[in-house]
Structure 1
Amino acid sequence: MSRGISEASSALQLNGHVIGKTNSTGHLVVMAFPVKVSVGKSEVDLNVNTTVVSIEGGVCLLDIYRGVIDEEKAGLSEDPKELDEIVEKIFNNTEEPEAYFIIYNDDNDTILENFEKGFLIINMGKYGLREYGKVRIEVKPGEGAALTIDRTIPGGLPKNDYVDLG
C-alpha cells in the first residue's frame, strides 16, 4: 500500500520561477525550471536510465533527457551562476532538443536530495516555441508520479533575451 501512495505523489516540485531565453528570431529556445524534492520525500534519483523528460506543444518530443550535468567534466565552474555559461558548454548542437539537470549544493551524484536544488535545463533546439503557444513538460523519475509543468508562452517576446514564464 505504501508503494502505491508513493507512486501517486510526485517526488519533485517546482521551487521558483521558470525562466526562458529567446533566440534571434524571438522564439523561446531555452527554459530553466528550479525543482526540489517534494515534502515527505528524502531523495530522487535523476539517472538518465530511470528518468524521462517529455514535451508536448507544437511538437511532441518523447524523451529528450540526457542526464545530470557533471560540472567538472563539462568545463563548468562548481554551481555556475550564469545560465548562458551552462547553455554554451552543454548544448553543443543548438538544433537538437535536449534536457539536463544540474544540481546545486550537490555531492557529485545523480541523486537530488533535500538540501540540494536542481534546475532542469531544456534546449528546444529547432523546435523553438512561438508567442502564445502552449507547452507541457513532464518529468518522470523512476519513482513517484510525474511532475507536469504547463505554460503559455507570453506575447511580445524580445530577441536574444530572458523572459519570466512564471
Structure 2
Amino acid sequence: MQKLLQAVRWLCMGLAIIVFAGQLAMVLMRYLLGVGFVELQDAVSYSFAALVALSVAVTFDRDRHVRVDVFRQTWSESVNQRIDRAGDLLFALPVFGLMLWAAYPLVKSSWLILEGSQETGGLPGLFVVKTCLVILPALILLIVLKRLVGAVRRSVS
C-alpha cells in the first residue's frame, strides 16, 4: 500500500510540473509569439484534473487534509483519534463508497468509446483522466480501511 501511495505522490509531482511548465509555455507562446496549441491546452487541463483528484488521496494518507481545528487543538490525542475514526466510519467510507459506485459507469462508458477531447484537434485520452474518478475513491477507501484495521489491532493488543 505504501509503495502504491508513493507512486501516486511521484505522479502528482510530475503532473504539477506538467501543469506549471505547460501553462507557462502556453502563456509565453500566446502573448509573445501569437500562437496557441489546443493539444498543449488539453495536456495542461488533463494534468490539472488528474493532479487535483490524485492529490486528495495523497494528502488524506499523510493526514494533511483540510479540517476544522478550532476544537481539535484543545483535545487530547486519544479524543482526536476517536473523532478521526468516527469520521472515517460515518463520512469517508459512505461518501467515497458512493463516489466509487456512481463514477464507475461513467468511467466504463468513457473507456468503451475511448473518449477524447471535446475540442477539435484536441488530445485523445480523456478516458484515462476520467479513470481518476475511480482511482480517487478506491485509494481513499483503502486508506480508511487500513486505518480502521490498525485501530482495531491497537485496541485488541
Identify whether the pair has TM-score above 0.5, normalized to the shorter chain: no
Normalized per residue, which structure has more strand?
A: 1
Structure with max Cα Rg: 2
Bigger share in helix: 2
TM (normalized to structure 1)?
A: 0.20
Q: Give the number of the structure with larger relative contact order, counting CA–CA contacts within 8 Å between residues 6 or more apart.
A: 1
